[in-house]
Amino acid sequence: MQLYLDTANLEEIREAASWGVISGVTTNPTLIVRERGADFKTTISAIADLVDGPISAETISLDAEGMIREGLEYAAWHPNVIIKVPSTTEGLKAVAHLTRKGIRTNVTLCFNATQALMAALAGAFIISPFVGRIDDSGVDGSQLIREIVAIYKQDTTITTSILAASIRHPRHIIEAAIAGADIASCPFKVLQQAMRHPLTDRGIEQFLADWQTRT
Ligand code: G3P
């Protein structure tokens, strides 16, 4: 399973990219606005210079015509930019059109397996089921990953990658990997947590303490 970073913060991206584990970056309108005053095109272009992989830039339009217009604009910013559209019928139209134009898409805000199936049939490059927000509603978000994996496996013509989104904690990374997701896109804080363990820290301390006793 690949790891993407879910942020528009360039410092976080620069740091995580140095770890050698990041294969792409996802953004959304909330994450872009969080980088107060950041210009959308400048930010996406800077991200594309930091990570050599798919960079998701999300459209704002609710109609296919607007999504396509935005998608054509954003895709021209960098070859690695892929276009995020919501799991709606207008989003399907935009995916079908942009795919015919050779532009990759990430269908986001996916909350059930039928949305994922239809996104794949429309030609989506990535589908983004929101595991954390499903968990927030009291339902097992990882079950949706398992359903999508099972459905996609039934059709060898489906090449859509399953990206576990809305990751809240390291356990979501493990569950997504076990369920068969192709990608998990994580906030920087979760990636930091994922590498921390008190026994690792204690082991390092003990090794150093023992080393100091060498004669
Ligand atoms: O890209 C989707 C992701 O950022 C959503 O996460 O925490 O807002 O559910 P969250």
Q: Alpha-carbon distance 95 to 52, whole Å?
A: 23
Domain ranges of the chain: 2-212
| Distance in Å, CA 12 to ligand 1 centroid | 16
Residue pLDDT, tens place only, 64-116: 999 999 999 999 999 999 999 999 999 999 999 999 999 999 999 999 999 99
Residues in CB range of 9: below 8 A, 6 or more apart: 34, 35, 188
CA 49 to chain centre: 18
Pocket test for ligand 1, best of 35, 59, 130 (most atoms within 8 A of CB): 130
Question: Which residues contact ligand 1 via a Cβ below 6 A?
Answer: 6, 26, 28, 31, 130, 132-133, 165-166
Q: Which CATH class is domain 2-212?
A: alpha beta
CA angle 146, 148, 122 (to 5 degrees): 170
Residue 140, classed as helix, strand or coil, is coil
| Distance in Å, CA 201 to ligand 1 centroid | 30
**Which residues on neighbouring strands pair with residue 82, listed in sequence order?**
56
Answer yes or no: is pLDDT of 38 > 90: no
Whether pTM > 0.85 for this model: the answer is yes
Residues of the chain with pLDDT > 90, as a percent, come to 98
